[in-house]
Amino acid sequence: MKNDSKTSSSALFPSECRMRKISYKGKLMVTMNWSLNGKVQDIIEDIVGDIPIMVKSARCNIEKLSRTELIRHKEDEEEFGGYFIMNGNEYLIRKLIAQRRNYVRLL
C-alpha cells in the first residue's frame, strides 16, 4: 500500500471493516508479458482493481492469529471465516446443488 493521506500501511482487520462500514478487500495485480520469436519483449504489471478477501483465507490478516490475538483485534475467538465483508455487511456465497431426478432413458 502507498502511504499517503488516503491510505495507511497498517493492517486492516475484518472487525474494523464492519465498524467503519467499508469492504474487506485487496488490490488485484496482473502481470503480463509478451514475446516475439521466443524472446520476452515486455513485462507489464498493473493493478486492475480491488477484490474481496474471504475472512480466514490465506490472504486474510487474521488467518493465523491465536485466540487471544483474535480477541485483541475485536474478533470472535471461535471465528470460522468463509464469508466476505462488503460495505460493513457479511456476505456468504453458497453453492446449491440440485439433485438430478431419476428418469427412464431409452437408447
Tell me: the pLDDT tens digits for 60-73? 989 988 999 999 98
**And the C-alpha cell for 52?**
474481496
Integer Cα distance of 34 and 94 in angstroms: 38
- Binning pLDDT at 50, 70 and 90, where does residue 102 land? low
2, pLDDT greater than 50: no
What is the distance, to the nearest Å, from the Cα of residue 101 to the centroid of all Cα atoms in its chain? 36
Q: Choose among 66, 61, 92, 91: nearest CA to 77.
A: 66
pLDDT in tens, 45-97: 999 999 999 999 999 989 988 999 999 988 988 888 899 999 999 998 877 66
